[in-house]
Structure 1
C-alpha cells in the first residue's frame, strides 16, 4: 500500500503539452519524492492526456490528472477540483510553464511554519531561450545556472542576482525583501486544511489577481505570508495571454476589492462545490479524473 504523500504538487495547465513535458522533467528530478503530482487541466486538447500517459510510466511519484471541459479561462475552478482530489497535508502550487529547480519541493517542506503560507518568485525566460531548454539540461540542472543562461543568449541583468545567492544569504534576502507577501500561483504553498478553511479559490474570478485574492482571504483567516523568494526559483517559460478576454481583468478586480471591503474569509463559490464537509469528492459528470501512477 502506497503511503500518503506529505505534499500535493498541483500543476495547472492548458494546451501547453510541450511546456508541460519540460516541467515534468523537472518534477522527476526533485531531490525528494515525498509528494504526489496533481495536474489541474483546464480543458486541454487530448495531446496533454497522451503526454501524461507516456510520462507516468517513468514517474517516481503518484500522478493524478483531473480535467474539465474548456469553457474559457476557469483556472480557479480546476484548482479547486485538484484540491478536492489531492491527498497531501500540504498543497504546493505551480504552473505548467514553470521548470522547477531540484530543491523546489524540499524547500517548501523545510520552510513551512505554522500559521503561514509560503510565497516565492520565478525567473522569466524569453521565448527564444524557452525553446532551447532540453530534458537533459533540466535533468543535469544546467539550465538553472547563469553560465547556461548567458551562453544561450540571455541578456545580463541585475535580475540574475537572485539565482546566484549562496544559501546563507538567501534566508537574509527572504527576510529583507520589500516585496509584498502575496500568494503567487507559480510558487506558493499552504496546508490543505487552510485552503479548505477559506473554501479554496474564488470561482467568480477568472484572469487577473485570482492568486492575490486567495492570499487575501488566507490573511483574513489569520494565515500570514512568508517569503522563500530567493530560496527556490522556477524558470518561467514564455507564453502569450490569448485566453484573456475583454473585461476579464476588470471583473476580477471588482471581486478582489469586494473581498477586501468585506474582509471575506470564505469564497462564496469555491471548493465546497467539489468537496463536502465529510471529504467526499463530487466532480461534474463531464470531468475526468485519472490516477496515472
Structure 2
C-alpha cells in the first residue's frame, strides 16, 4: 500500500436490486479473494426474498464477513442505501462494486496495494453479453476460468478492448492505464476511496437517479483535492449483462444538470447526502 504501512481493513460495498442469480456469482467471487482483511456490505435497494435467500446461504457458509443492509422498495433510491452503507462501513477504506460484477481473485488485494492518501482508484469492467453471463457457473468462478480470454471467447465474448483488460500482465496493464484516454472517474462498479474523504463530501447526492451519481461524487472529491488514479486494466471484474429499465431521459437530464452545477460551482459537500441539511 502506497504512503501507508499499517494493515488495511477494507469494506466492500456492493449495490444490488433483484438480481439474485447474479449476486450469487458475485459473492462466490469474493469467497475466492487472496486478500484476507475485508468485509462485505450488500447495499440492497429493496430486493425481494430471493435475494435474502442468497445472502442467508452465504452467511451460513461463513467464508465471508457479510452484512445485508436493506430498505423498502420505494423506487430507485440506490444513493440512499449506499450512503447508509458508507456510515456502517467498518473499514477505513471502502471498495465500491455492484452485485453484477464478479471480481478476479486478486481484486481486493490490488485495491489494497494501490490505496493512496489523497487519491481514489478508478477501475472499469469487462462487459459480457448475456450468453456469456449465463454460461458462468460457480465452478468457473472457483477455478477462475471465467477470467481467461480463451474461455470467454469460447462462450460468446468478442471485442479486443474487453479482452485486453483480462490478458494484460501487471507491467503491461500499468502502461495501458498510463496511456489510456479514458478519464480516472469514480465508477461504482469498481472504485475505492478513503471513508474519511467520502464523509467529508457528505457521500452520494440522494437527489440523483440512474445515470452518473457515481461520477458526481467523484467530481466533488476532485474539487476537494482528492484525485482519481487509473487502474482499469489492472483491477479486474467481469460485468454480467442485464436490462436497465430504471434508465429514463428525465433522470439523465436531471443528473447532468446537478453535475454541471457541481463542476461550475466547485461543490465539495452536497446538502443532499448522508447528513441532510435542514431548510
**Taking structure 2 as the reference length, what is the TM-score of the superposition?**
0.94
Gaps of 5+ in 2: 1-6
Secondary structure in structure 1 of the residue aligned to 2:236: coil
- Pick the aligned partner of 1:23 from 6, 26, 40: 26
Gaps of 5+ in 1: 274-293
- Pick the aligned partner of 2:118 from 115, 123, 129: 115
> Are 2:71 and 1:68 equivalent residues in the alignment?
yes
Report the counterpart of residue 239 of structure 2 in structure 1: 236
**Root-mean-square deviation over aligned CA pairs:** 1.5
Work out the CA distance in 2 between the residues paired with 1:52 and 1:58: 10
Equivalent runs, 1:158-173 vs 2, <5 Å: 158-173=161-176
Q: Deviation per CA, 1:151-196, whole angstroms, max 9, x where unpaired?
A: 2122353431221111121112222211111101100000000000
Equivalent runs, 1:120-159 vs 2, <5 Å: 120-159=123-162
Work out the CA distance in 2 between the residues paired with 1:155 and 1:260: 36
> Are 2:81 and 1:78 equivalent residues in the alignment?
yes
Larger deviation, residues 164-173 vs 97-106: 164-173
Number of equivalenced pairs: 271
Report the counterpart of residue 265 of structure 1 in structure 2: 268
Q: How far off is 1:52 after superposition? A: 0.4
Larger deviation, residues 92-101 vs 171-180: 171-180
Report the counterpart of residue 285 of structure 1 in structure 2: none
- Pick the aligned partner of 1:56 from 54, 59, 63: 59
Work out the CA distance in 1 between the residues paired with 2:8 and 2:59: 17
Secondary structure in structure 2 of the residue aligned to 1:272: coil
**Taking structure 1 as the reference length, what is the TM-score of the superposition?**
0.89
